[in-house]
Structure 1
Amino acid sequence: MTKLQWAVIASAIGMFFILYLGCDTTPEDIKALEKSRALAAESTDINALLQEAKPALSGISSSTVLALETELEETVSDSARAEVFKRLASKWYELGQPAISGYYAQQVAELLGTEESWSIAGTTYTICIQQSQEQKIRDFCTGRAVQAFESAISLNPEEIAHQVNLALAYTSSPPPDNPMKGILMLRDLNQKAPDNVLVLNTLARLALQTGQYSKAVERLEHALELAPGNSNTICLLAEAYQGNGEAEKGKAFEEKCRSLTR
């Protein structure tokens, strides 16, 4: 993946996901146990995913992947390996394999240990959850998305975007024993930061998905007061007004949305 392509994945973070966990005070031994349990629940692994994906590659793509894998084997320093992992993550993302892309993005994060790299890994895994129809792949990506966002939060507990991303990972793949976990996280975050536009937009988007148009309108109108030029708010309002039976307002905001996204 080029630097631009890597940046595209990074930019998805702002649009995608986030939550509130506060400071990470979990002892390291407990964290290690939790990670071990999460990975043990996976019904597939990276080797199986690669074995399934590689036969479908074109000759050019297969050669590119092989060249990157060979380069990785010959690379020693962590900084150089991180760059190769980035290119592998970008290539597999380009090939429509976010699970594999997420794995390589996770390798970058484990080497660099930055909140941005962990957030990129988590975002890529969340894209995997949203796009995949196979439960084994969804399981593979779910636990890893959560771990990645929790790592980002532990590095910067005050960054609301990481917190929203974690909540969205849970809404994309709800825990069987707590299906409302992601929504409750977002509501809790909204109580703590009632004027945060990202949180308001995220809750509104989820309300639209469940047909709660009046609730979406209420949140979005508040967001618009706080940030009148926010394109996400404006475009979401177009859908919200139309769904709420306010066709004239919906049409007006649809035109505004088009002008902002041209």
Structure 2
Amino acid sequence: MVVLFSLPKIIINKETGAALSGATATANRDKAAGGTADEHEGHLHNSDGSEASAAHVKASPEALSKLKALLVDYRTAGENANRAKLAEEIAVQYTAIAKFDSAGYYYEQVAAIRPGEKTYQKAADQYFEAFSFAATEERTKELSGKARELYNKVLQNNPANLDAKTNLAMTYIAAGEQPMQGIQLLREVITTNPNNEKALFNLGILSIQSGQYDKAVERFKHLVEVNPKHIQGNFYLAVSLAEIGKKEEARQVFTKAKTLDNNPEFQASIDTELEKLK
């Protein structure tokens, strides 16, 4: 997987919209106990709603109880409008407890009933979030494939949706499938909108991965010109500057980045990089 998904999650969380938060177990398959399980896109749906009990450990008993009740109601719902409403409520609940693959599945059910750019993107974004945390090659391919399928439907509805195009690009690149196609999509985004923050950031990361630090500096400098407070942009600009030997400039940018986020892990990462510059 590319550097984007191997670098510290706390750094790649604030501004990219690339759906990287701190729950490292998010993309794991649900392990539900009891009932008869039917497998749907990597999510186990038990006929008695007991998959709710396998939700993220940080979920409160009240949240799990509500989720289980919604799942039971969903299975007995008849009309499409009611099923779509319940599926959306379930997706919201799964998102709240960081079960993004499950949320993606239920948003996908909404999109099947109410197809359109927005409904497809909700489902795609959740699968993309889960894909960002996939712990195995199998899950990476599975979840990136789901996200890709749905982002393509978004773009069929609106070819000008640059956010969907950028995330689609990263499913090709990070999953190791047709990476050049992904890079071409990012370039299309930049051609359409030269100041697109997410595309600039991802192209910068890809330049780091390929050891083209001069190009990375160019991308990240552009990014921080567009958004001077972009935390990750400043951090990786400093990293890239250090790699091409501009240590004093790198030190200045690291120092600036340190003022943008007081998260202890982020601060520690910068301290480590500053120590290397001595």
TM-score after normalising by structure 2: 0.65
Give, in whole Å, the separation in 2 of the partners of 1:14 and 1:224: 13
Cross-structure match for 2:115: 113
Match of 1:139 among 113, 138, 141: 141
Are residue 99 (structure 1) and residue 101 (structure 2) matched? Answer: yes
**One-letter amino acid matched to 2:221:** E
Displacement, 1:45? 4.0
Displacement, 1:145? 0.6
Cross-structure match for 1:70: 72
Equivalent pair of 2:201/2:223 in contact (CA under 8 Å): yes
The correspondence of residues 7-46 of structure 1 with structure 2, limited to 5 A, is 15-16=17-18, 45-46=39-40
- Alpha carbons of structure 1 residues 147 and 159: separation in structure 2 relative to 1, 3 Å: same
Are residue 50 (structure 1) and residue 52 (structure 2) matched? Answer: no
Cross-structure match for 1:233: 233
Equivalent pair of 2:16/2:197 in contact (CA under 8 Å): no
Match of 1:163 among 165, 173, 177: 165
Equivalent pair of 2:14/2:231 in contact (CA under 8 Å): no
- Alpha carbons of structure 1 residues 12 and 197: separation in structure 2 relative to 1, 3 Å: closer
Higher relative contact order (CA 8 A, sep 6+): 1
Cross-structure match for 1:216: 216
What residue ranges of structure 1 are gaps of 5+ in the alignment? 1-10, 18-43
What residue ranges of structure 2 are gaps of 5+ in the alignment? 1-12, 20-37, 263-278
- Structure 1 range deviating more: 224-233 or 236-245: 224-233
Cross-structure match for 2:242: 242
What is the DSSP-based 3-state SS (H/G/I as helix, E as strand, rest coil) of the residue aligned with 1:15?
coil
What is the DSSP-based 3-state SS (H/G/I as helix, E as strand, rest coil) of the residue aligned with 2:43?
helix
Query: CA offsets per residue over residues 117-149 of structure 1, 9 Å max, x none?
Result: 322321221222232224443333222211211
Query: CA offsets per residue over residues 16-72 of structure 1, 9 Å max, x none?
Result: 28xxxxxxxxxxxxxxxxxxxxxxxxxx94176316993745793653432111222
TM-score after normalising by structure 1: 0.69
Displacement, 1:168? 0.9
Are residue 153 (structure 1) and residue 147 (structure 2) matched? Answer: no
Displacement, 1:183? 2.0
What is the DSSP-based 3-state SS (H/G/I as helix, E as strand, rest coil) of the residue aligned with 1:261?
coil
- Alpha carbons of structure 1 residues 141 and 171: separation in structure 2 relative to 1, 3 Å: same
Displacement, 1:228? 4.1
Give, in whole Å, the separation in 1 of the partners of 2:162 and 2:96: 28
Alignment RMSD (CA, Å): 3.4
Equivalent pair of 1:119/1:149 in contact (CA under 8 Å): yes
- Alpha carbons of structure 1 residues 12 and 141: separation in structure 2 relative to 1, 3 Å: farther
